Amino acid sequence: MRKKALSAAAASTAAAALTALAAVAVAAPAPASAAAVTIKVERAHAEMVREWIDPFTCPTNTVLTGRSHYGDENAPTTYYCSFILINGEQAQVYLSDWTSRLKESRSDYSAPDHQAVAGRWHEGDENGYTRYRTASVYWRGQRVLLANGDISGEYRESSHTWQADENKVMTGRLHNGDENGKTYYRFATVTFAG
C-alpha cells in the first residue's frame, strides 16, 4: 500500500475546512423564531359610574381587569382598567362596537377569541339589558393573544370586588338573578407569539 502525500495547496485547503467546521461547531445556536418577551398588565384607571344608566369604556389603550359593585342597580359600579405592556411598551387597543343587548338576569357573555372586554353598558335593573364592548390588542403591528381562558369563582352581585390575577384580562361575564344573584367573570392570560 502506497501512501500519497498531499500537496501543500491541498493540505492548506483541508486545514482551512477543518478550522471552519470547528468554528461552526462552537458557534452559539440560532435564536428561536419568536424572541421571548416580557408581558405586564398594569392598572392604569379606576372609575365609578351609575350602574343602571351609564355606559363605560376604558380609556385609550386599556382593557378591563376588574369590577366592584355594592348594592342594587341604583348603587355605583367601579371599573378597573389596565395597560398591557410588552417589553415595557404599551400595546395598542382597538375597540369594537357594542354587542347586542343581553337580559341581565340571565346573561352569559364571552368575547370573541383573543379579544378582551373594554366596556360595559347596563340599563335598568335585573330585567334590563347589558351590552359589552370588546377590543383587539396589538403590539408592533402583531396581534396579542389571550390564552388559557377560565372562569372565576362565584360572587354575590350586590357585594363584591373582582380583580383579574397577574397578566390576565377580563373576557366575559355571567350573571343570574337580581342583585343578590350570582356573578362570574371570564378571564384569560395575555400572551404574544411574535
The residue length of the chain stands at 194
Check pLDDT > 90 for residue 194.
no
Check pLDDT > 90 for residue 20.
no
The answer to whether the beta carbons of residues 175 and 183 sit under 8 Å apart is yes
On whether residue 79 sits in a domain, the answer given is: yes
Judged by DSSP in three states, 88 sits in coil
Check pLDDT > 60 for residue 8.
no
Q: How many domains does the chain have?
A: 1
Q: Among residues 52, 35, 76, which one has the least CA distance to residue 194?
A: 35
Between these two residues, 194 and 182, which has the higher pLDDT value?
A: 182
The answer to whether the beta carbons of residues 134 and 116 sit under 8 Å apart is yes
Q: In which domain, by residue range, is 66 found? A: 39-191
Reported as a single tens digit per residue, the pLDDT across 108-134 is 999 999 999 999 999 999 999 999 999
In this structure, of 31-40, 83-92, 109-118, 128-137, the range with the lowest mean pLDDT score is 31-40
On whether residue 18 sits in a domain, the answer given is: no
Mean pLDDT of 53-79: 97
**Burial of 62 from C-beta contacts in 10 A (0-12 / 13-18 / 19+):** buried
On whether residue 16 sits in a domain, the answer given is: no
Q: How far apart are the first and last CA of the chain?
A: 60
On whether residue 133 sits in a domain, the answer given is: yes
Check pLDDT > 80 for residue 81.
yes
Confidence category of residue 187, pLDDT binned at 50, 70, 90: very high
Confidence category of residue 58, pLDDT binned at 50, 70, 90: very high
On whether residue 171 sits in a domain, the answer given is: yes
CA gap 79, 48 in Å, rounded: 6
pLDDT for position 34: 52
On whether residue 114 sits in a domain, the answer given is: yes
CA gap 93, 91 in Å, rounded: 7
On whether residue 4 sits in a domain, the answer given is: no
Mean pLDDT of 79-93: 99
- Please enumerate in sequence order all residues whose Cβ is within 8 A of that of 109, keeping only pairs 6 or more positions apart, or say none: 99, 102, 130, 132, 172, 173, 174, 186
Confirm whether pTM is higher than 0.85: no
On whether residue 159 sits in a domain, the answer given is: yes
Check pLDDT > 70 for residue 31.
no
Q: Among residues 131, 133, 135, which one has the least CA distance to residue 116?
A: 135
